[in-house]
Amino acid sequence: SLKSEREMEGFARAEAGLLAVESWLQVALADRLEAIARESLARSRRDLEEAEGLRDQGLVLGADFYAGRVTAAAMEQRGNGHEAARAVARAALNILQGNPPEKSFALAGRLPVPDTDERPAAAWLEEALTHRADLAASQSALAAQRSEVGRDKARLLPNISLFAEGEDNTRSFAQYGDNYTAGIRITLDL
């Protein structure tokens, strides 16, 4: 139905908007996490260089040094993962804006600080269900289908017509004639 189509269009627009917001948040988050990982890696490398300097002076390095190397390698992997996630999120955001995926851009704005909402989870769920355009569109489509089913059922049932007719005929002033006709007509579409 038309109402269902309008609601589906609204849902598609809302979904695209949410996808754009999610992509923006992914870019901002990946930028921030990559910066943290790179900063941690730089500090770890400085510490490892100091430890190697101590080793060169004759100090025997223990298991902590080798654990530090493993940790530094893990931080580098994490930084590379955040860099890849940022590239994917930036490409998605470019595509949503109609730009080539590899186009570079400066991210405007900052990650918002969320306000705390004291509502219970049930209230959140109820509000989400009442404001979801996809559910409204589905309900409208379901109502349209129900009316179609009702129309199809009505076509399968026979149409029954009752009729009756009565006449009062006089052939002369002395004789009266009464004619009555009654009947049932049933039609069935095949």
C-alpha 122/C-alpha 128 separation (Å) is 10
Predicted confidence (pLDDT) per residue in 82-140, tens digit: 888 888 888 888 888 888 888 887 777 665 666 776 778 778 767 776 777 777 777 77
CB atoms within 10 A of CB 31: 18
Type and span of the H or E element at 37: helix 2-56
Instruction: Indicate the pLDDT class of residue 173, thresholds 50, 70 and 90.
Output: low
Which pTM does this prediction carry? 0.46
Q: What is the mean pLDDT of the chain?
A: 78
Nearest to 28 by CA among 84, 77, 81, 86: 86
Nearest to 72 by CA among 90, 99, 45, 100: 45
